[in-house]
Structures are given as C-alpha cells and as structure tokens.
Amino acid sequence: MYNKITDTGSAMKLPIDQDAWMMFRFSNHEIIRLHLGPGRSIDNHINDWRIIFYVISGEGILNVDGSTYALAEQQSIAVEAGKHRFWSNPGKKDLELLAIKTREEE
C-alpha cells in the first residue's frame, strides 16, 4: 500500500449504489473518493468512523443528524462517529468528494 499510486482505475470500487472507490485502506484509516452526479444522493446512514469530507469539485449538501451544511469546492467538514449523515447534490455539476475516515485508537 505504501509508495503506490492509486486512481479510480486501480482502486477498489465499493459495493454501493454510488460511484465510490477505496483509494487507501489501513487498519484505522480509509480514504474514499465519492462521485455524485446532479440530483443524486447517498442514503442516510450511521457510520462508526470519524470522517472528514473534502469537496474536490462541485457543491453539495451534507445532512448530519438533521443539521444541513452547504459545502463548495475546496471546503471540508469533520463529522463525529455515530451520527446520521447523508449527502445530496441538488446542483447541475458533478460533486467529487474525498472521505477521510478514522477509527478511535483503542
């Protein structure tokens, strides 16, 4: 995994409805690239990972436990583990995100 270049052509496609690729995976860290086309969304879910979302391009709406956040290109937000969350792309451009996930150290 170290000193290895990855892109969406070589990364593992995740088995979810959206375009999502596991760019890197370590025991307590994951880097995922997400793509949401216009009008698309990611279902509401709870995740046991802390996560930082970074918007590579486009704009989207993140809902965390009922609070909404509008994020644009080059903005990021951190979300605690155990929170309900989902993304939507109400715009006319693609939304590209990096999800940087970490687990609590035990």
* pLDDT for the residue numbered 76: 98
CATH number for the domain harbouring residue 86? 2.60.120.10
Q: What CA–CA distance (Å, rounded) separates 101 from 22? A: 11
Calculate ∠ Cα 22-25-27, nearest 5°.
Answer: 150
Q: Is residue 23 included in any domain, yes or no?
A: no
- Tell me how many domains the chain contains: 1
Q: Is residue 1 included in any domain, yes or no?
A: no
- Domain residues for the domain of 79 are 32-102
Average pLDDT, the chain: 89
pTM for this entry:
0.87
Q: Is residue 33's pLDDT more than 60?
A: yes
Q: Is residue 93 included in any domain, yes or no?
A: yes
